[in-house]
Amino acid sequence: MSPTEENFRRDIEDAKGRMTTKFGGRRELKKLQDHVWPTETVERMVTGTYGGGMGLLVMTDKRLIFLKEGMFSSTLEDFPFDKISSIQWSSGMFVGKITIFLSGNKGEITNVDKADGKAITDNVRSRISTLGDTPASTSSTSESASNSSADMSPLDLLQQLQQMHQAGVLTEEEFTRKKTEILDRM
Protein backbone atom coordinates (compact mmCIF):
# COMPACT_ATOMS: atom_id res chain seq x y z
CA MET A 1 0.00 0.00 0.00
CA SER A 2 1.38 3.42 -0.91
CA PRO A 3 1.76 6.13 1.78
CA THR A 4 -1.07 8.10 0.14
CA GLU A 5 -3.47 5.14 0.32
CA GLU A 6 -2.36 4.32 3.86
CA ASN A 7 -3.16 7.83 5.15
CA PHE A 8 -6.44 8.21 3.20
CA ARG A 9 -9.50 8.64 5.42
CA ARG A 10 -12.79 8.06 3.62
CA ASP A 11 -14.74 9.65 6.51
CA ILE A 12 -12.81 12.92 6.19
CA GLU A 13 -13.27 12.99 2.42
CA ASP A 14 -17.01 12.31 2.75
CA ALA A 15 -17.45 15.09 5.34
CA LYS A 16 -15.34 17.42 3.19
CA GLY A 17 -17.59 16.66 0.22
CA ARG A 18 -20.67 17.71 2.24
CA MET A 19 -19.19 21.13 3.10
CA THR A 20 -20.83 24.08 1.38
CA THR A 21 -17.66 26.18 1.53
CA LYS A 22 -14.06 25.39 2.41
CA PHE A 23 -12.90 29.01 2.49
CA GLY A 24 -10.64 29.61 5.48
CA GLY A 25 -10.07 25.94 6.23
CA ARG A 26 -7.88 24.50 3.48
CA ARG A 27 -4.75 24.27 5.62
CA GLU A 28 -6.74 22.60 8.41
CA LEU A 29 -8.32 20.12 5.98
CA LYS A 30 -4.85 19.01 4.89
CA LYS A 31 -3.73 18.42 8.51
CA LEU A 32 -6.99 17.08 9.97
CA GLN A 33 -6.09 13.40 9.86
CA ASP A 34 -3.11 14.14 12.14
CA HIS A 35 -5.53 15.35 14.83
CA VAL A 36 -8.35 12.80 14.58
CA TRP A 37 -8.09 9.69 16.70
CA PRO A 38 -7.88 6.42 14.76
CA THR A 39 -10.97 5.19 16.65
CA GLU A 40 -13.23 8.12 15.76
CA THR A 41 -15.15 8.94 12.60
CA VAL A 42 -15.46 12.43 11.12
CA GLU A 43 -19.12 13.19 10.40
CA ARG A 44 -19.40 16.91 9.55
CA MET A 45 -17.19 19.99 9.17
CA VAL A 46 -17.58 23.74 8.80
CA THR A 47 -15.18 26.67 8.66
CA GLY A 48 -15.51 29.53 11.14
CA THR A 49 -13.74 31.94 13.46
CA TYR A 50 -12.90 31.01 17.04
CA GLY A 51 -10.49 32.70 19.42
CA GLY A 52 -9.53 35.30 16.84
CA GLY A 53 -8.55 32.85 14.12
CA MET A 54 -10.21 31.25 11.12
CA GLY A 55 -10.21 27.48 11.26
CA LEU A 56 -12.22 24.30 11.00
CA LEU A 57 -14.93 22.99 13.34
CA VAL A 58 -15.13 19.21 13.03
CA MET A 59 -17.83 16.93 14.41
CA THR A 60 -16.74 13.34 14.97
CA ASP A 61 -18.70 10.53 16.56
CA LYS A 62 -17.00 11.35 19.91
CA ARG A 63 -16.42 15.12 20.08
CA LEU A 64 -16.30 18.51 18.43
CA ILE A 65 -12.83 19.77 17.48
CA PHE A 66 -11.79 23.28 16.49
CA LEU A 67 -8.53 23.21 14.54
CA LYS A 68 -6.49 26.25 13.52
CA GLU A 69 -3.33 25.69 11.50
CA GLY A 70 -1.14 28.80 11.38
CA MET A 71 2.10 29.37 9.53
CA PHE A 72 4.21 28.52 12.60
CA SER A 73 1.80 26.95 15.06
CA SER A 74 -1.23 24.75 15.39
CA THR A 75 -4.14 25.10 17.82
CA LEU A 76 -6.60 22.36 18.67
CA GLU A 77 -9.46 22.60 21.13
CA ASP A 78 -11.84 19.74 21.66
CA PHE A 79 -15.30 19.63 23.16
CA PRO A 80 -16.24 16.06 24.21
CA PHE A 81 -19.97 15.40 23.81
CA ASP A 82 -20.33 14.30 27.44
CA LYS A 83 -19.07 17.74 28.58
CA ILE A 84 -21.39 19.77 26.33
CA SER A 85 -24.52 20.89 28.19
CA SER A 86 -26.14 22.58 25.18
CA ILE A 87 -25.44 24.06 21.79
CA GLN A 88 -27.05 27.09 20.19
CA TRP A 89 -27.37 28.17 16.55
CA SER A 90 -28.12 31.72 15.45
CA SER A 91 -27.85 33.16 11.98
CA GLY A 92 -27.95 36.36 10.04
CA MET A 93 -28.51 36.86 6.37
CA PHE A 94 -25.37 35.07 5.16
CA VAL A 95 -23.54 33.46 8.08
CA GLY A 96 -24.28 32.20 11.56
CA LYS A 97 -22.81 31.53 14.98
CA ILE A 98 -22.51 28.30 16.94
CA THR A 99 -22.35 28.68 20.72
CA ILE A 100 -21.23 25.63 22.69
CA PHE A 101 -22.01 25.59 26.42
CA LEU A 102 -20.00 23.29 28.67
CA SER A 103 -19.05 23.17 32.36
CA GLY A 104 -19.81 26.83 33.04
CA ASN A 105 -17.91 27.99 29.94
CA LYS A 106 -18.90 28.70 26.39
CA GLY A 107 -17.20 28.75 23.04
CA GLU A 108 -18.46 30.81 20.11
CA ILE A 109 -17.61 29.96 16.53
CA THR A 110 -18.65 32.83 14.25
CA ASN A 111 -18.73 33.41 10.48
CA VAL A 112 -20.11 29.92 9.96
CA ASP A 113 -21.83 28.88 6.73
CA LYS A 114 -25.58 28.74 7.43
CA ALA A 115 -26.33 25.29 6.01
CA ASP A 116 -23.24 23.57 7.43
CA GLY A 117 -23.55 25.28 10.82
CA LYS A 118 -27.22 24.36 11.19
CA ALA A 119 -26.48 20.75 10.24
CA ILE A 120 -23.67 20.42 12.79
CA THR A 121 -25.74 22.09 15.51
CA ASP A 122 -28.73 19.79 14.88
CA ASN A 123 -26.49 16.71 14.88
CA VAL A 124 -24.69 17.70 18.09
CA ARG A 125 -28.00 18.51 19.79
CA SER A 126 -29.27 15.07 18.85
CA ARG A 127 -26.08 13.40 20.06
CA ILE A 128 -25.99 15.13 23.46
CA SER A 129 -29.71 14.59 24.07
CA THR A 130 -29.24 10.82 23.88
CA LEU A 131 -26.06 10.58 25.99
CA GLY A 132 -27.87 10.06 29.30
CA ASP A 133 -30.46 7.65 27.93
CA THR A 134 -30.45 4.07 29.08
CA PRO A 135 -31.51 1.34 26.66
CA ALA A 136 -34.87 0.97 28.45
CA SER A 137 -35.63 4.70 28.30
CA THR A 138 -34.09 5.57 24.93
CA SER A 139 -36.45 7.48 22.69
CA SER A 140 -35.91 8.14 19.04
CA THR A 141 -34.35 11.40 17.94
CA SER A 142 -37.59 12.50 16.34
CA GLU A 143 -39.56 11.88 19.56
CA SER A 144 -37.06 13.93 21.56
CA ALA A 145 -37.30 16.73 19.02
CA SER A 146 -41.09 16.83 19.09
CA ASN A 147 -41.26 16.77 22.91
CA SER A 148 -38.92 19.73 23.20
CA SER A 149 -40.87 21.58 20.51
CA ALA A 150 -44.38 21.27 21.96
CA ASP A 151 -45.03 25.01 21.76
CA MET A 152 -44.04 25.33 18.06
CA SER A 153 -46.64 25.66 15.29
CA PRO A 154 -47.24 22.60 13.09
CA LEU A 155 -45.63 24.40 10.14
CA ASP A 156 -42.52 25.19 12.21
CA LEU A 157 -42.38 21.58 13.40
CA LEU A 158 -42.62 20.29 9.82
CA GLN A 159 -39.84 22.65 8.71
CA GLN A 160 -37.62 21.56 11.61
CA LEU A 161 -38.39 17.91 10.87
CA GLN A 162 -37.46 18.39 7.20
CA GLN A 163 -34.16 20.07 8.16
CA MET A 164 -33.31 17.24 10.54
CA HIS A 165 -34.09 14.69 7.83
CA GLN A 166 -31.94 16.53 5.26
CA ALA A 167 -29.09 16.77 7.79
CA GLY A 168 -29.17 12.99 8.24
CA VAL A 169 -30.39 13.11 11.85
CA LEU A 170 -33.62 11.25 11.04
CA THR A 171 -34.09 8.10 9.01
CA GLU A 172 -36.73 8.06 6.27
CA GLU A 173 -38.95 5.93 8.53
CA GLU A 174 -38.62 8.33 11.51
CA PHE A 175 -39.26 11.33 9.27
CA THR A 176 -42.42 9.81 7.74
CA ARG A 177 -43.78 8.69 11.12
CA LYS A 178 -43.27 12.09 12.78
CA LYS A 179 -44.61 13.98 9.77
CA THR A 180 -47.78 11.89 9.93
CA GLU A 181 -48.11 12.55 13.68
CA ILE A 182 -47.78 16.32 13.16
CA LEU A 183 -50.29 16.36 10.29
CA ASP A 184 -52.77 14.27 12.30
CA ARG A 185 -52.69 16.92 15.09
CA MET A 186 -53.74 19.69 12.69
Return the number of other C-beta atoms located less than 10 Å from residue 126's C-beta: 18
**What distance in Å separates the CA atoms of residue 22 and residue 19, rounded to the nearest whole number?**
7
- All residues at 6 or more sequence positions from 49 whose CB lies less than 8 Å from its CB, including other chains: 24, 55, 109, 110, 111
Distances (CA, A) of 158 to 11, 143, 164, 166, 182: 30, 13, 10, 12, 7
Instruction: Identify any residues that bridge with 49 across adjacent strands, giving them in sequence order.
Output: 54, 110
The CA-to-CA distance between both ends of the chain, in Å, stands at 59
Identify residue 126 by its one-letter amino acid code.
Answer: S
Domain boundary assignment for the chain: 3-138, 139-186
CATH architecture of 3-138: Roll (2.30)
Q: State how far the Cα of 20 lies from the Cα of 22, in Å rounded to an integer.
A: 7
Is pTM, for the whole model, over 0.85? Answer: no
Percent helix / strand / coil, the chain, rounded to 5:
40, 30, 30
* Alpha-carbon gap, residue 122 to 79, rounded angstroms: 16
Q: What is the bridge-based pairing of β-strands 74-80 and 42-50?
A: unpaired
Contact 83, 102 (CB under 8 A): yes
Q: Residue 15 in contact with residue 42, Cβ under 8 Å?
A: yes
| pLDDT (tens place) for every residue of the chain, 186 residues total | 444 444 568 998 998 888 887 787 788 888 888 888 989 999 999 999 998 789 999 999 999 999 998 878 788 888 999 899 999 999 988 899 999 998 778 899 999 999 999 999 999 998 888 876 544 433 444 444 444 445 567 777 777 777 776 766 667 877 788 888 778 776
